[in-house]
Structure 1
Amino acid sequence: MVGAVKDSFDLAVVGSGIIGLAHALAAARRGLRVVVVDRDQKANGASIRNFGLVVVTGQEPGLSRRLAERSREIWLELANEAGIEILHRGKLIAAQRPEALALLETFKSGEHGGACKLLTAREVLAQQAGLDQSAIIGGLHSPFELRVESREALPRLASFLAEKHGVVFRTGVSVTEIAPPFVETSAGRIDAEKVVVCPGDDFSSLYPGLIGKHGVQRCKLQMLRLADPGFRLSSALMSDLSLLRYGGFAALPEAGALRAKLSEERGAALANGVHLIVVQSADGSLVVGDSHHYGLTLDPFGSEAVDQLILGEFKTLFGKAPNVLARWTGYYASAKNAVLRDTPHEDVRLVIVTSGTGASTGFGLGEATIVELFGQ
């Protein structure tokens, strides 16, 4: 996609994944002239290999929660402005163990649980068809979550930025050097006063030494698409394993008892970083996952054993699983902190979401970076 070429820009964004587009949107909304440069022809990484789930409830309190709340607001605005369809609203956590229910009760009583609703087993089953009643003892419903189809939402957002905001896209172009007010690329020099670099899990092309100092590694995940199960999800769905993956739950004292119980009963799942998220696409098919394996260089191969662990968790909740239609792996940057933000130059910001929460927090993060670079 190529917009009308301009001689110079206020901002160059390197990377056209969700984080790059979030920064482009924040800048374009302020009337700044923006160019997005990407070595690929379109977003092809973690930004489209995910659930498209904007998670608010369960985000770590503080910055991550605030960024998620603001990002949710922007997703809703884009639903109207850019025609991005919201497929789900809300999230149901189906508790299978007393330890999980105790954790949810504590969360409900805390600062961020007020708008959520604790559910009895009967209420969970009434809210979501298809669940195995013998597996459920209660749950929690959050009204905040949104779900989009990432592989459709990202191209639509890019088109919206180009057509409505005049953002220029230079794709299939590699950035070789950043020296504001210039960016050198494989297709020539771009004049840009300020630059935001959003490299995803590319740790070697730009600022490798700086990225390395932050202890960043890669996370590999596995996901599946299942055939239409014959029922409709009322919202996104999670289960007990998911509670250990989100800081807003995992930091609570009750998480220790749940982890111990799951270690006994689901040791292999924990060892492979498996937790269950289930969302549904417009055609009725289900996106199910995922797993987590870490390292600097990870193999590209999916594991059938890991897929079976994911499907096993699905079967625990639903009794059976539909046919698998597709399988894929994804990779994203991972580090101790949820976000890597650094300043290689006073007019350059390096921004990497290192927690797998790009869709959930990216728009809020983009606004914060643009304010930092250009002021209020």
Structure 2
Amino acid sequence: MVPACDIAIVGGGIIGLAHAWTAVKAGLRVALFERHARATGASIRNFGFVTVTGQQRGDFHALARRTRNLWLDAAEDAGIAIEHRGLYVSARYPESEAVLRAFLYTEMGADCRLLKGDAVPFLANGQRVVLHSPLDIRVESRTAIPKLSQWLGTRADLHYGVTVTGIETGRLHTSMGEVRAERIVVCPGDDLSGLFAGRIQAHAISRCQLQMLRLADPGFRLPGAVMSDLSLIRYLGYADLPEAVALKKRLEAEHAAQLANGVHLIVVQSADGSLVVGDSHHYGDAPEPFTSEAVDRLILDEYRAVLGAAPQVTERWSGTYATAPDRLFLIDQPLPDVRLVIVTCGAGASTSFGIAERTFQSFGDHA
């Protein structure tokens, strides 16, 4: 029998864990339910890259910045290593340079600087300029998520391998019996057909599938994450700037295959020297179980243009996340004292803790 709790959280990915961490830090009695034996979804298949720079201007950028600061607190609590700090966005084209220069003049670029391409030694020849931001951080998702769960396990009731089959105000029906909770937060990730499926469908939420790679140690250390020109029309903090129109036109003419497959470049480095590289984006309700070698080649082509010869591929995997046409995240109220929380843009790691604070604010709590 699970004792009654102040708050029950459904879902053990980063969104659920961030809500649990926030609640524990506020002194609440917390129970978390995850249907799998451990986290296996987007939360461990991503870059572990907490991206501030380039997030949509205004509220979402502020949300990412707040989450970055809370990640540092959670990492200290749970003994999670910060693998590297900062971001380098390379620009090969004059249109890309124009976007980066415009970005610097916004409030989002206040902490950033523009470097000459040949002043960044780990990049390949041909980079015109490079935007450097000190804000972004990176953790190793495959170990960070279990470590955060382990820390929470000594301070909350965590129930892995337990399915929640129904929810009412103040009550959860689970595969281990009924549980009472004053408040409930449902964090389903991209499980769109389970709890509150009708609410999810009403918000036109579907799925995005991506492909990612791990490359062998290239023999050098990256001081931060790396992005490139293609990211400047994908991340809204850049893409919404007027200067991005000319860049998009050029990329549509010269990189049509990459854009058709949603390819842009992110490269981060693990403690063992290996590189996590991606990614692509394909949209639909039923992701394909198979990955495409042609899409991997498009990702690696962009890698070579920015970082030179690509090391051997040692792992390949795919992931999925929830996406929506008109919002970046959702905090919905399907029932009194129940919240449905979904990040719908692939930025769960980058906004999770800030969103958790918003959720508790919506309850009227001060967690």
Alignment TM-score > 0.5, same fold: yes
- CA–CA separation in structure 2 for the residues paired with 1:75 and 1:298: 30
Counterpart check, 1:370 vs 2:360: yes
- How many percent identity over aligned positions? 54
Residue 244 (structure 1) shift: 1.3
Whichever residue aligns with residue 68 of structure 1, its letter is A
What are the residue-to-residue correspondences of 1:286-305 with 2, within 5 Å?
A: 286-305=275-294
Please tell me whether the aligned partners of residues 94 and 124 of structure 1 are also in contact (alpha carbons under 8 angstroms).
no
Which one of 321, 331, 347 corresponds to residue 341 of structure 1?
331
- CA–CA separation in structure 2 for the residues paired with 1:116 and 1:132: 21
What are the residue-to-residue correspondences of 1:205-284 with 2, within 5 Å?
A: 205-284=194-273
Whichever residue aligns with residue 30 of structure 1, its letter is A
Give secondary structure in 1 for the equivalent of 2:43: coil
Which one of 176, 192, 200 corresponds to residue 187 of structure 1?
176
- CA–CA separation in structure 2 for the residues paired with 1:332 and 1:248: 21
- CA–CA separation in structure 1 for the residues paired with 2:302 and 2:84: 21
Corresponding residue of 2:141: 150
Which one of 292, 314, 317 corresponds to residue 306 of structure 2?
317
Corresponding residue of 1:77: 73
Give secondary structure in 2 for the equivalent of 1:47: helix
Please tell me whether the aligned partners of residues 23 and 366 of structure 1 are also in contact (alpha carbons under 8 angstroms).
yes
- CA–CA separation in structure 1 for the residues paired with 2:131 and 2:307: 17
Which one of 244, 249, 274 corresponds to residue 285 of structure 1?
274
Residue 375 (structure 1) shift: 2.2
Structure 2 gaps of 5+ residues are none
- CA–CA separation in structure 2 for the residues paired with 1:359 and 1:308: 26
Corresponding residue of 1:354: 344
My pick for the range that moved more, 63-72 or 233-242, is: 63-72
Give secondary structure in 1 for the equivalent of 2:322: strand
Residue 63 (structure 1) shift: 2.2
Paired residue total: 365
- CA–CA separation in structure 1 for the residues paired with 2:72 and 2:330: 26
Corresponding residue of 1:199: 188
Please tell me whether the aligned partners of residues 2 and 179 of structure 2 are also in contact (alpha carbons under 8 angstroms).
no
Normalising by structure 1, report the TM-score: 0.95
Whichever residue aligns with residue 98 of structure 2, its letter is A
Q: Deviations over 1:294-329 (max 9, x none)?
A: 001111110000000001101111231100000000
Normalising by structure 2, report the TM-score: 0.98
Counterpart check, 1:173 vs 2:162: yes
Whichever residue aligns with residue 134 of structure 2, its letter is P
Corresponding residue of 1:46: 42
Q: Deviations over 1:203-228 (max 9, x none)?
A: 11111111001111100000000000
Please tell me whether the aligned partners of residues 172 and 181 of structure 2 are also in contact (alpha carbons under 8 angstroms).
yes
- CA–CA separation in structure 1 for the residues paired with 2:89 and 2:355: 27
Q: Deviations over 1:236-292 (max 9, x none)?
A: 000000111111000001111111111111100000000000000000000000000
Please tell me whether the aligned partners of residues 226 and 286 of structure 1 are also in contact (alpha carbons under 8 angstroms).
yes
Q: Deviations over 1:320-357 (max 9, x none)?
A: 11000000000000012100221001210000000100
My pick for the range that moved more, 73-82 or 52-61, is: 73-82
Please tell me whether the aligned partners of residues 120 and 138 of structure 1 are also in contact (alpha carbons under 8 angstroms).
yes
Corresponding residue of 1:160: 151
Counterpart check, 1:23 vs 2:23: no
Q: Deviations over 1:53-72 (max 9, x none)?
A: 00111111222112111111
Corresponding residue of 2:124: 132
Give secondary structure in 1 for the equivalent of 2:109: coil
Residue 46 (structure 1) shift: 0.3
Give secondary structure in 2 for the equivalent of 1:48: helix
Q: Deviations over 1:3-59 (max 9, x none)?
A: xx7511011100000000011111111111001101101110000000000011111
Whichever residue aligns with residue 9 of structure 1, its letter is C
- CA–CA separation in structure 1 for the residues paired with 2:213 and 2:294: 13
What stretches of structure 1 move > 3 A for 4+ residues in a row? none
Corresponding residue of 2:295: 306
Counterpart check, 1:14 vs 2:10: yes
